[in-house]
A and B are shown apart, each in its own frame.
Chain A
Amino acid sequence: MNVERNTLLRVQNLKKYFPVSRQLFRTQRRYVIAVDDVSFDVLKGETLGLVGETGCGKTTVARTILQLYRPTSGRVLFDGVDLASLQENDLRKMRSRMQMIFQDPYASLNPRMTVGAIISAPLDVHTALTQKEKRERVQELLKLVGLNPDFVNRYPHEFSGGQRQRIGIARALALNPDLVICDEPISSLDVSIQAQVVNLLEELQDKLGLTYIFVAHDLSMVRHISDRMVVMYLGKVMELADRNEIYLHPLHPYTRALMSAVPIPDPDKARNRKRIILKGDIPSPLNPPHGCNFNTRCPMAAERCFQEDPEYREIQPGHWVACHFV
């Protein structure tokens, strides 16, 4: 595969540190190290899954890609253009090509705006369509996401969580973007509704040739929807590989533990497999451990892991790992 040609987005050595408010007489500034040296490519038309536990930096990566946060350092090349170096005006032009679907369908829709106004907001900013054209486009979008086009004059509170998420998807698709970042789009929905939304996202991808970055903590869902997966821990990428490769041959001890902790809805399989139970909690990103980030919980940790940060390297074509013992 000619990777170079098909790459839509290239994230290079991305870092995002958030300063913590300065305390009196403390001269040194402290930082929350949310994203620390993350690199990966996203290919045109694929779904890249970004998975990890609370505080691993997956959402920060997503937001930094879209320049909702400006990166501390590193590059975000979207179709060859470094978004991080663009000024606001130029950036706004690029934004129509990359959109986001948010986690909380209750907080991400303005309760005072009608569905029609919500979905046409991006059209107001980025296009010169007439009122009539906008209205038609909104109705078309509602149909596309499986809602009744007559709903344009309703308000968000009249809809259920799943339906609201569809409205959020319609808004994200209004400008025919190339890249859609889905930030935990289903985690607040019930199981049966989750499947509806995921199936819709897959259908839309087939129909419109979209590229997704799918951010979630639910490993089985991420594996279901993604072509390739990035496993993050405490601001760093631990492993990146194809969805099957990472399931069949997980190389990083964290990925292995994560895989083994995912419940399997089958009593025989669930009871017969061996679980790796990790000890303790995720350390604070204010004060990450010295050496490998995972060394406080790693069952394999040796002396070297406490001194040297493992290099993130390609073990096999397309399979990247950051661990000394691979």
Chain B
Amino acid sequence: METLMRIKELHTRFHTQDGTVNAVNGISYTMQAGEVLGVVGESGCGKSVHALSILRLIQIPPGEIDAREVWFNGKDLLKLNDKEIRQVRGREIAMVFQDPMSSLNPVYTVGFQISEALMLHKGMNKTQARERALELLNLVGIPEASKRLDNYPHQFSGGMRQRAMIAMALSCEPKLLIADEPTTALDVTIQAQIIELVMRLQEELGMAVMWITHDLGIMAEMAQNINVMYAGFIIERGNVHEIYHQTRHPYTLGLLGSLPRIDEAPGTKLISIPGLPPDLIGLPVGCPFYARCAFRVERCLSERPQLEEAGSPGHTVACWRWKEIDAEALRKAAGGAQ
């Protein structure tokens, strides 16, 4: 497998009146061509901001992006000028956003919006672009695509709009598709349709997919690797089996414990994580999860743990006590605390 993207020590900050918000705090990872990566975390953990930083869609100022490198397919994205980065956006890295209604332009037809990217990036003329747009709408499973081409976004249902967004994202055959919570606004049966669609297209087109979500449930089915983020840090990373079956970070365990399972036994108690995520203005010196952690010791307050290998190659955890931690230990610790 060849490396598609390599991120080293990415920081994103926002300078506001109240102080500097440290949204992403020095994250590093690599993505292989064709890989499906899940980026999981709660609101404010920096998962979306990190993706927007890769595409340089952060407004500067108040934002500030700083990294050793954001290497993608032979170039450092942070060193490109405005014209060059525009060539990457949409053509090499495409993005699908959470809310399909506000990311489609209500005053243009869906067909036009898909064609636009093709004319811009592929140099097609109107007729060619329209034909290709029709193919794409068929590809993403929109019924009667030839009629739908001239519809406006409000004539589409939520699921269809998200399909149209995906068609638009795929129009230039990107090497990487970043999907930022694309199914959060949709119903489960429609979510199942979209997941199936993206997975089918990922296989057919061989593109890499970064799926950003707060739902560990979805990722179990789709992802090869998972980055778990908290307060702008990656706090655990591993392949899907390591994350779900050999979980080492108390936060990841907490997330899994908070999630009710449709197949759970009667009488199962949810293990909630007490407290709230930290304020990102002014980072703690120690572990960002300290205040909510059931396993905290003094060291966690004064020294921030770095990612280290936990058990198997590729599985990394940022926790001083990962060796002592598993689901059983958390259940006990949570039971003792209540």
Q: Does B157 contact A (CB under 8 A)?
A: yes
A53 to B183, CA, bound (A): 14
Q: Of B63-71, B86-94, B128-136, B257-265, which binds chain A?
A: B257-265
Q: B220 and A53: CB pair below 8 A? A: no
Give B contacts to A, CB under 8 Å. 42-43, 143, 157-160, 187-193, 196, 214-218, 220-221, 240-241, 244-245, 254-264, 266, 268-274, 276-277
Q: A223 and B260: CB pair below 8 A? A: yes
A195: contacting residue among B43, B218, B221, B271, CB under 8 A: B271
Q: A264 and B263: CB pair below 8 A? A: yes
User: Which residues of the other chain, B, contact A277 by a CB distance below 8 angstroms?
Assistant: 189, 192-193, 196
Q: Which residue of A lies closest to B226 (CB)?
A: A267
Q: A257 and B189: CB pair below 8 A? A: yes
Q: A267 and B272: CB pair below 8 A? A: no
A272 to B97, CA, bound (A): 29
Q: A192 with B215: in contact, given A263-B221, A265-B244, A270-B221 (CB under 8 Å)?
A: no
A58 to B257, CA, bound (A): 28
A247 to B244, CA, bound (A): 23
Q: B189 and A199: CB pair below 8 A? A: no
Q: A267 and B258: CB pair below 8 A? A: no
Give A contacts to B, CB under 8 Å. 53-54, 160, 162, 190-196, 198-199, 217-221, 223-225, 243-244, 247, 257-267, 269-271, 275, 277-278, 280-282
Q: A281 and B160: CB pair below 8 A? A: yes
Question: Quick one: which of A190, A193, A220, A243 has the most chain B CB within 10 A?
Answer: A190
Q: B241 and A53: CB pair below 8 A? A: no
Q: A265 and B216: CB pair below 8 A? A: yes
B273: contacting residue among A192, A217, A275, CB under 8 A: A192
- Least distance between B218 CB and chain A CB atoms (Å): 5
Question: Quick one: which of A247, A262, A267, A277 has the most chain B CB within 10 A?
Answer: A267
Q: B189 and A261: CB pair below 8 A? A: yes
Q: B269 and A199: CB pair below 8 A? A: yes
User: Which residues of the other chain, A, contact B260 by a CB distance below 8 angstroms?
Assistant: 198, 218, 220-221, 223-225
User: Which residues of the other chain, B, contact A257 by a CB distance below 8 angstroms?
Assistant: 189
Q: A219 and B262: CB pair below 8 A? A: yes
B214: contacting residue among A190, A244, A269, CB under 8 A: A190
Can you list 17 A-B contacts with CB-CB less than 8 angstroms, sorted by A residue number?
Answer: A53-B187, A160-B276, A190-B42, A190-B277, A191-B42, A191-B215, A192-B258, A194-B258, A198-B270, A223-B260, A223-B262, A224-B268, A263-B215, A263-B218, A265-B217, A266-B220, A281-B157
Q: A192 with B42: in contact, given A53-B189, A259-B262, A261-B191 (CB under 8 Å)?
A: yes
Q: Which 6 A-B pairs have the closest CB atoms?
A: A263-B217, A195-B258, A224-B260, A195-B272, A261-B192, A53-B187
Q: A220 and B261: CB pair below 8 A? A: yes
Q: Which residue of A lies closest to B264 (CB)?
A: A224
B272: contacting residue among A192, A243, A247, A259, CB under 8 A: A192
Q: Which residue of B lies closest to A55 (CB)?
A: B187
Q: A265 and B188: CB pair below 8 A? A: no
Q: B188 and A275: CB pair below 8 A? A: no
- Least distance between A82 CB and chain B CB atoms (Å): 34
A219 to B262, CA, bound (A): 7
Q: A270 and B189: CB pair below 8 A? A: no
B270: contacting residue among A224, A243, A247, A260, CB under 8 A: A224
A7 to B269, CA, bound (A): 27
User: Which residues of the other chain, A, contact B221 by a CB distance below 8 angstroms?
Assistant: 263-264, 267, 270-271
Q: A278 and B244: CB pair below 8 A? A: no
Q: B256 and A258: CB pair below 8 A? A: no
User: Which residues of the other chain, A, contact B257 by a CB distance below 8 angstroms?
Assistant: 195
Q: B256 and A265: CB pair below 8 A? A: yes
A220 to B262, CA, bound (A): 4
A266 to B218, CA, bound (A): 9
A162 to B244, CA, bound (A): 26
- Least distance between A280 CB and chain B CB atoms (Å): 8
- Least distance between A156 CB and chain B CB atoms (Å): 16
A190 to B192, CA, bound (A): 21
Q: A191 and B214: CB pair below 8 A? A: yes
Q: Which residue of A lies closest to B191 (CB)?
A: A261
Q: A264 with B262: in contact, given A191-B215, A191-B255 (CB under 8 Å)?
A: yes
Q: B266 and A244: CB pair below 8 A? A: yes
User: Which residues of the other chain, A, contact B192 by a CB distance below 8 angstroms?
Assistant: 260-261, 275, 277-278
User: Which residues of the other chain, A, contact B189 by a CB distance below 8 angstroms?
Assistant: 53, 257-258, 261, 277-278
Q: B258 and A266: CB pair below 8 A? A: no
A275 to B196, CA, bound (A): 10
Q: Which residue of B lies closest to A223 (CB)?
A: B262
A129 to B266, CA, bound (A): 42
A225 to B256, CA, bound (A): 17
Q: Which residue of A lies closest to B244 (CB)?
A: A267
A9 to B292, CA, bound (A): 40
Q: Apart from A196-B273, A260-B192, what are 16 other A-B pairs with CB-CB below 8 Å? A: A191-B215, A191-B216, A191-B258, A192-B272, A193-B272, A194-B258, A195-B271, A195-B273, A199-B270, A220-B261, A223-B260, A224-B270, A247-B262, A263-B221, A265-B261, A267-B245
